[in-house]
Amino acid sequence: MEDKSLSWEVLVIAWSLAIAALTGMTLQPSPALAQTDDLKQSGTLTINQTQLAFIVSGNIGGGTLSYAGATHAFSVGGLGIGGIGVSQIDAVGEVYNLKNLTDFEGAYGQARTGIAIGTVSAGHLWLENTAGVYIHLAAKRTGLALSLGADAVYIKFD
């Protein structure tokens, strides 16, 4: 029963953020405006998710965060605008400016570009939450998808 409430919670929050992104109230999606000296690596993570898109996109999956000598499992979900197709995304990356574990959970703004055709893929993601935590991901995609747009992503510990 808890999994269903998590799914609805993730979808409602992600949809609200996607609408906010469309109306111009976006979170900063990349560190372009942040000074690179301000980014301090504090952990690493892996994410596995499925993305479905036909103008409106949705994704759901999970991952692990390695932080302060421990590994923490989390769920990730979201909705966005832009793209077409279905793809499986496997990503690895770094977490920056995470000072407290509790700052990792929550909503992230995302800017994305990428393409996947069969086993050929390319993609690069930067996310930021309201606590100033940045996530940088190198993504490998499989499937058939073209994506270009903005997403809202919600992360919650399992």
Tell me, what's the pLDDT at 145?
63
Please report, rounded to a whole number, the percentage of residues in the chain having pLDDT higher than 70: 57
User: Residue 126's pLDDT is what?
Assistant: 84
What is the tens place of the pLDDT at every residue in 53-101? 776 677 789 999 999 999 999 999 876 666 777 778 888 999 999 999 9
Domain boundaries, the chain: 2-157
How far, in Å, are 67, 104, 111 from residue 157 at the CA level? 13, 9, 23
Q: Identify each DSSP E strand in the chain by its residue range.
A: 41-67, 70-96, 106-118, 120-129, 134-157
Q: What is the pTM of this model?
A: 0.69
Q: How far apart are the C-alpha atoms of 14 and 36, rounded to whole Å?
A: 28
Contact present, 48 and 89 (Cβ < 8 Å)? yes
Q: Cα–Cα distance between 70 and 80 in angstroms, integer?
A: 31
Cα–Cα dist 111/59, whole Å: 14
CA gap 7, 142 in Å, rounded: 24
